[in-house]
Structure 1
Amino acid sequence: MASAGLRDELDCSICLNLYTNPVTLRCGHNFCRVCIDRVLDTQDQSGIYSCPECRVKSPKQPLQRNITLHNVVEHFRSTQPHQEKVTGIYCTYCVDSPVPAVKSCLHCEASLCDKHLRVHNKSPEHVLSEPRTSLENRKCSVHQKVLEYYCTEDAACICVSCSLAGEHRGHQVEMMDEASEKKKKKLRNVFQKLITKREKTEKRVQSLEERRRKAQEKADGEVERVDVLFIAIRRQLDDLEKKVLSEISRQEKEESLSLSALIHQLEIKKDELSRKMKHIEELCNMTDPLTVLQEPDTGDLCDPEEGGGDEDTGGHDKAHDVDVDGIAGMLHKGFSDILTYLPSISLAKPKEIEIYEEGPADILLDVNTAANDILISKNLKTATWTKITQNRPETAKRFQSPQVMSSRRFTSGRHYWDVEISRSRDWMVGGCYPSIDRRGDRSHIGENNKSWSLCGGLEYKNQCTVRHDSKDVLLPHQVSSNRVRICLDYGAGQLSFYELCDPIRHLHTFTTTFTEPLHAVLCVWGGSIKILGGGAAVRKRPQ
């Protein structure tokens, strides 16, 4: 109730709405500035101005803004959840005081308040619309009649005269409301299509952002892996440097001690020679022949051919010099080891840097999987193709083609194995799942999605290929060495092939997600393949 009473006090007596920019007359009454300006403008002809409330007359003067009342109205307005929307359009027929219009008549070109709307003509030509300030654009510029129709051929709004006698005579026309609904329907269809396109665009943007994020993460991961790789290489280089410098220092110290001992012996010998020289010189300076002749035998003093010191020294120098060739060999071997075991270097995060050294060779062939045209050596290391059938029992595990699997299977960690191929017409090495088919053309390693292989042989003319799921990738360069290393990183899903030349050369890496244990597998025609060594990665913490 208090709020309702306050509202009554804050309403302008002219527009009956909340004060807008309120001003105060000399009599003390308040009005909206627009409302009182309208009233005073109607009184300009008489020259006498009076308050609409109390009719007190006064000369026209500048209106004083009521700041306090303005602040009270704004505060009241902000506390009300719903306020009447004031359009600023007033009834054409309310002359004494402006009253907000609720409708506009297109035929009469007038705006109407509630009171005048009730008595307004209801005939069809009187078209009502929302309150409008200008009604000229609602009439035909030629005939000055209300636009009621829509010409579909010219896409223009027309009046009845345009349709009957004007330039649109004979054209197909529709009522404006009907044409408007049709256009709205089309617009709604377009709107739905735009919504669909926008959703697709948003999904595309999200997909690209996700790709960008993943690319950034992958790049960051690769940068981290490369940093770790070079840290490990530098660590090994530092170790090699310390080892070589230590060997040089050892040889230098050994040489220095040996030479110091020899110098000491020669110094003693030099002093002895000096003593003898002095004694001989004294004898030579004596004038008494008896004294000279009475000296003991001096043959050892006078023998000019005495020697042995120079030869001994020369022999020592030749035997104990710094071994330059040995140092060079140590450096060469150290660099070769770094390149050879590069695939075994850990690529863990920097906080988990580890160096991996060669572990025990544990790759043995499983005779139970060997085909009958494959001969397995007693040490289970060599597979040789043979024309003589081995008459092994046919089982579900045995390959029909000349292949054999390892008995060891890998389910985690990093491992490698080296193989040597001896003049084989065709050969394949790699890895496979235990669920690989053992019969049929699709049982060859690389011809299915359960195996990965490197293929070569005399018929390939040293041009090797890698194969998975019957898809071949021809390697860009020839493989001249008959030794190959296969490296497995089970957790990272990588199976890599390297040529064991000097330096070691990377051939190809398969990347996947392993879903089964992995076995080493060999396939050979017209030759043999021998497993030279291999093993698991043995962790060694950096010193």
Structure 2
Amino acid sequence: MASADLRDELTCSICLNIYTDPVTLPCGHSFCRTCIGDVLDTQEASGVYKCPECRAESQERPALVKNRKLRNIAENIRSTHPEQEEAGIPCTYCDSPVPAAKTCLHCEDAACICVYCMAGEHRGHQVETLNEASEKKKEKLRNILQKLTSQREEAEKRVQNLEELRRQVQGNAAGVTERVTALIRDIRKQLEALEKRVLSEISRQEEQVSPPSLRSNPAAGNKEGGAVQEDGNCLTRTGIRQRRLLCGSDLSDLTLRPSWDCDRITRRHRVPEASDMLLDVNTASDMLLDVNTASDMLLDVNTASDMLLDVNTAGRYVSVSEDLKTVSGSGINQGRPETPERFQVYPQVLSSRSFSSGRHYWEVEGSESGEWGVGMTYPSIERRGGQSLIGENNKSWGLEKIYNKVYYMRHDSKLTQLPHSFSCCRFGIFLDYEAGRLSFYELCDPIRHLHTFTAAFTEPLHAGFGVYEDNTWVRI
């Protein structure tokens, strides 16, 4: 302990090492000659000299008195206790390797300095210890690391969202591809069948128009034609031709005699008129229009897969499933409170979602037995009385199953029975709001267009569902 105290007394307060050639100032403080000399040199420009320890001032450069006794003691200590190198950051301004005592943060140098530099060139600068500077740097690094960590987590979330979106797009693309492929296959089948029907009908009508006698014996036909031409008093050439084509006369049914008698011309079979011959062609055009409608249905369409039933509109004898996807008729009063939006007479329910723009498609399935209906309706539809039935007013349009396999289209109190029977109870509904089209399709094999309503929609449209007998059901 005594040796440590003695070593501290023999340490220069500038270089923090044992004195080397110690000298003493008039104030009595001792320093290494080199150390105090450098300090006095830096103070010379200011004209005031100060002691680094007691800050005693002098207008003239103080004389340095050699302290021999202190030098001897210092050399003795140095020889018996070799000096150990100090660890730490060296001072960047000292010539000898002196450890830095403080670091400067507020000057342009931003360097580590020792006590000697604090009294010299960096006098008056605001400084702090290495530990303080280190803690501040660590705090800044922690903040930066926290921000980077947060940004990385956000980036990972975005990557996950993009992956999920990619999977959804792939799934939707696969579904659309399958539907388009099935539609094109059905179109091809329908076109082939349509071609056969039209060509067969043309051949049949051609056979019906041409008399068998002319087909089997053209010469006889020419002879009979001459006889017809000779009797111009009864029929002109133009009149005969018109009667054959438009009045339905068949050459095979005419009795040709030397004296032509108009009263004996009889008609046994009617030859189809030109308008009748075009009937199947028009039907073919209608089928092609239906194909175009089905094709448009697959382009730029929002699939309403999230459609749910609104229990607040369900009638008292309507049962709604927990997933809000199925409605069924029930003979038991469900005990729902009477509200303005609830159907009071008919067992019907609306969807919670409405459509006021765009193109939308969804599918429904109904029970094979019983009476039920599906369609679209304005939210302003009546909830009481006979006008509250879907399709019985000008605010709703619907497909209604009345008897087994018998279907009607209903709008504004007008019923249109669909002519053909049905092979399944699954239907697709396509809404083009801006174009004013509401189409219904039977989802059998092949897909068949049933009916399209056209209107200028003026309100948002809700999907409507009705179950008019017990144990009947409709599922979205």
TM-score clears 0.5? no
Q: Give the TM-score taking structure 1 as reference length.
A: 0.36
Q: Give the TM-score taking structure 2 as reference length.
A: 0.41
